[in-house]
Amino acid sequence: MKKFYVVTILIAALFGCTNSTISSDATEAAATIYFGGDIITMEGDKPKYVEAVVQANGKIVFVGSKTQADKSYNNAQQQDLNGKTMLPGFIDAHSHFANFGLQAVGAQILPPPDAGANNIPALIEILKQWGTPENIALTGWIFGMGFDDSVLEENRFPTKDDLDKVATEHPVFLIHISGHFAALNSKGLELLDITSATEDPKGGKIRRMPGTNEPNGVLEELAAIPHMLKVLQPKTNEIANKFFTAGQDMALSYGYTTAQEGRAMENQEMLITAAENNFFKIDVNSYIDYAFMDKYMGSKWDSKNYVNHYRIAGVKITLDGSPQGRTAWRTVPYLLPPDGADNDYLGYPAIPQDKDVEAIYAKAFENDWQILTHANGDAAIDQMIRTMKVVAEEYGNDNRRSVLIHGQYVREDQLDSLKALNVIVSLYPLHTFYWGDWHKQIIGDKLGNKISPTRTTLDKGLRLTIHTDAPVALPNIMRMVGIAVTRTSRSGLVIGKEEKLTAYEALKGVTDWSAYQHFEEHTKGTITVGKLSDLVILSDNPLKVPVDDIEDIVVLKTIKEGELVYTR
């Protein structure tokens, strides 16, 4: 593919075309000219506008003036933007695409403004209404994603006693908004064979009833995560297709042209089936959980190139849990420990032994697999740095593009160490809206203002991307861009004003910079001749509206390789 681009550009030069035009009879006949709005190329450090873009056969063949576009492509189809704004297609730096369908189809148990689960009675009522025979037949469970104990009026997790009010004859399985906890009713615990005799797994915890060993229905980390994908499996291929379509349609509505499955486990089979049946309308990069490396890495899907818009791009390792759920591993105790924890509670590691982490990094480095590391607490990030440093010294560290995912409580000295290791830092500024107020309670005002330190990361010269982590939150990229600029919490507080990004920087984080993170900077991320014609059309220009209005901008059209795949 790279040779093709070089040859094309050389031919264009020989026949007198400019470096912003590729022209031929074939491309002219199939060409589309976009004009009449703000077209932001996302090239360079400052906004660059052009009058017209021409795409043909899935690639951008011209960027420049409308007059020259008409002259070079006088038979092209004309597409007037009618004053709307065009950008490169969005590339989420970290999400869990395979689970989008669960969020789209399941009970809507997110808190406001995304849904209505603001207290436990409301949560119970939403689940009751959703739990029709038709919906239960999807997986055999009443399920939903996104309840948030930090926003529920009771400030606690729903227990089996609460969820038994939803149903006793059917199992109930709820996934916490962090994706790191589950809450089950009594029937659900019974089906999973979780009893008072069940021991806590390594890297996880079964919460118990006060004064007893009886499970209370809440599962943490590796007590919860392995059950999620097994429990919520569609019952038939037809239902699986329904889930996949609903999730992909949701991604398209938010302008995704490239998505990520950031921790593929059993759901890898669903993704393979979708690819084999040519269901993907956008590109999806999959990162295989380290426990499944031997099963999937080295397969035909483990490739630098997409097969039917799908590929395995690397490996994922998770070193701790959720900061808002207080399972992120810290060096300083939480000010407000979770239920049943002591005042010196620090959270805990997912992989306690450094030697085990080193072995996973070594396997990735030895096989030249890009590796993403989930680490939120500073103790987990310390573990990442000290183990990766050993492996990088042994195997070399050129152009690996290892990525820190989330890094909510990363310290400034750790950013310096990550820079020395050439680690890309992918931060999660949505936290400042959804949990900024909560962080101030659980870690204090000073540290709470430093979550997702995007400005500090850029100023230190690290490569930065930003992500939604959907379906932890909705995959609403424009909301994420807006919050990265304002850093405003649910209550209206600004969480660390010194860490704000400009609107242009935030957009770079979901276009150009994210393309680089995925080794796709030569084909995506900017509106540049020779790149794929992956484009979005927005209702407004994020660089011109008041910053508080950026998050309300909607995607009007999503275009993947020249094909209109979504229109509002």
Please tell me the pTM assigned to this model: 0.88
Least Cα distance to 40 among 76, 2, 90 occurs for 90
Compute the distance between CA of residue 531 and CA of residue 516 in angstroms, rounded to an integer: 13
Residue 312: strand pairing partners:
286, 302
Residue 13, Cβ neighbours under 10 Å: how many?
A: 11
Which tens digits make up the pLDDT trace of 200-242? Answer: 998 899 999 999 999 999 999 999 989 987 888 888 989 989 9
Which tens digits make up the pLDDT trace of 126-174? Answer: 999 999 999 999 999 999 998 999 889 998 999 999 999 999 999 999 9
Q: Report the pLDDT value the prediction gives residue 45, as an integer from 0 to 100.
A: 96
Cβ–Cβ < 8 Å for 152, 111: yes
Q: Report the pLDDT value the prediction gives residue 151, as an integer from 0 to 100.
A: 87
Q: Report the pLDDT value the prediction gives residue 13, as an integer from 0 to 100.
A: 33
Residue 132, Cβ neighbours under 10 Å: how many?
A: 10
Residue 309 exposure: Cα atoms within 13 Å on the Cβ side: 21
Least Cα distance to 280 among 98, 139, 30, 96 occurs for 98
Q: Is the pLDDT of residue 249 over 90?
A: yes
CA 23 from chain centre, in angstroms, equals: 37
Read off the tokens for 516. 């680089």
Residue 152, Cβ neighbours under 10 Å: how many?
A: 18
Read off the tokens for 145. 């994603």
- Tell me the average pLDDT of the chain: 93
Q: Is the pLDDT of residue 20 over 60?
A: no
Read off the tokens for 345. 């509670």
Residue range 303-316: mean pLDDT, rounded: 97
Compute the distance between CA of residue 38 and CA of residue 109 in angstroms, rounded to an integer: 37
Read off the tokens for 168. 């006793």
- In the three-class reduction of DSSP (H, G, I as helix; E, B as strand; rest coil), residue 245 is classed as helix
Which tens digits make up the pLDDT trace of 274-291? Answer: 999 999 999 999 999 999
Compute the distance between CA of residue 280 and CA of residue 309 in angstroms, rounded to an integer: 6
Cβ–Cβ < 8 Å for 149, 155: yes
- In the three-class reduction of DSSP (H, G, I as helix; E, B as strand; rest coil), residue 50 is classed as strand
Q: Report the pLDDT value the prediction gives residue 552, as an integer from 0 to 100.
A: 97
Starting at the edge strand that comes first in sequence, how are the strands of the sheet with 204-208 ordered?
A: 107-108, 142-147, 172-176, 181-184, 215-221, 204-208
Least Cα distance to 105 among 128, 135, 133 occurs for 135
Q: Report the pLDDT value the prediction gives residue 28, as an integer from 0 to 100.
A: 62
Compute the distance between CA of residue 323 and CA of residue 444 in angstroms, rounded to an integer: 13
Phi, psi of 518 (to 5 degrees): -90, 15
Q: Report the pLDDT value the prediction gives residue 231, as an integer from 0 to 100.
A: 85
Residue 262 zone, left/alpha/beta (φ > 0; ψ -120 to 50; rest): alpha
Residue 521, Cβ neighbours under 10 Å: how many?
A: 16
CA 182 from chain centre, in angstroms, equals: 20
Which tens digits make up the pLDDT trace of 387-421? Answer: 999 999 999 999 999 999 999 999 999 999 999 99
Least Cα distance to 319 among 268, 343, 353, 344 occurs for 353
Phi, psi of 368 (to 5 degrees): 60, 40
Which tens digits make up the pLDDT trace of 478-507? Answer: 999 999 999 999 999 999 999 999 999 999
Compute the distance between CA of residue 385 and CA of residue 415 in angstroms, rounded to an integer: 10
Give 5's pLDDT tier (boundaries 50, 70, 90): very low
Q: Report the pLDDT value the prediction gives residue 533, as an integer from 0 to 100.
A: 98
Least Cα distance to 258 among 286, 274, 282, 281 occurs for 282
Cβ–Cβ < 8 Å for 453, 427: yes
Q: Is the pLDDT of residue 263 over 90?
A: yes
Q: Report the pLDDT value the prediction gives residue 543, as an integer from 0 to 100.
A: 98
Q: CATH 3.10.310.70: which residues of the chain?
A: 111-176+181-223
Which tens digits make up the pLDDT trace of 332-379? Answer: 999 999 888 999 999 999 999 999 999 999 999 999 999 999 999 999
Residue 370's H or E segment, with its range, is: strand 370-375
Residue 40: strand pairing partners:
49
Q: Report the pLDDT value the prediction gives residue 560, as an integer from 0 to 100.
A: 98
Q: Is the pLDDT of residue 18 over 50?
A: no
Compute the distance between CA of residue 271 and CA of residue 369 in angstroms, rounded to an integer: 19
Residues 6+ away with beta carbon under 8 Å from 222: 201, 202, 203, 204, 350
Q: Which residue has the higher pLDDT, 3 or 59?
A: 59
Class of the CATH-defined domain 111-176+181-223: alpha beta
Q: Report the pLDDT value the prediction gives residue 234, as an integer from 0 to 100.
A: 87
Residue reference for tokens 């006793």: 168
Full DSSP string of 378-392:
HHHHHHHHHHHHHHH
Residue range 114-118: mean pLDDT, rounded: 91
Q: Is the pLDDT of residue 17 over 60?
A: no
Q: E strands of 498-554, at which residues?
A: 535-538
Q: Is the pLDDT of residue 293 over 50?
A: yes
Cβ–Cβ < 8 Å for 479, 551: yes
Residues 6+ away with beta carbon under 8 Å from 40: 47, 48, 49, 85, 86, 87, 507, 527, 541, 543
The torsion of the CA quartet 304, 307, 309, 312, rounded to 10 degrees, works out to -50
Read off the tokens for 21. 């035009």
Residue range 181-197: mean pLDDT, rounded: 96
Give 15's pLDDT tier (boundaries 50, 70, 90): very low
Residue reference for tokens 């994922």: 316
Q: Is the pLDDT of residue 310 over 60?
A: yes
Compute the distance between CA of residue 229 and CA of residue 232 in angstroms, rounded to an integer: 5
Residue range 546-556: mean pLDDT, rounded: 98
∠ at Cα 143 (109, 95), nearest 5°? Answer: 70
Compute the distance between CA of residue 265 and CA of residue 75 in angstroms, rounded to an integer: 49
Compute the distance between CA of residue 302 and CA of residue 298 in angstroms, rounded to an integer: 6
Q: CATH 3.20.20.140: which residues of the chain?
A: 241-567
- In the three-class reduction of DSSP (H, G, I as helix; E, B as strand; rest coil), residue 427 is classed as strand
Residues 6+ away with beta carbon under 8 Å from 267: 98, 99, 229, 261
Which tens digits make up the pLDDT trace of 23-63? Answer: 555 456 689 999 999 999 999 999 999 999 999 999 999 99
- In the three-class reduction of DSSP (H, G, I as helix; E, B as strand; rest coil), residue 406 is classed as strand
At the second CATH level, the architecture of 241-567 is Alpha-Beta Barrel (3.20)
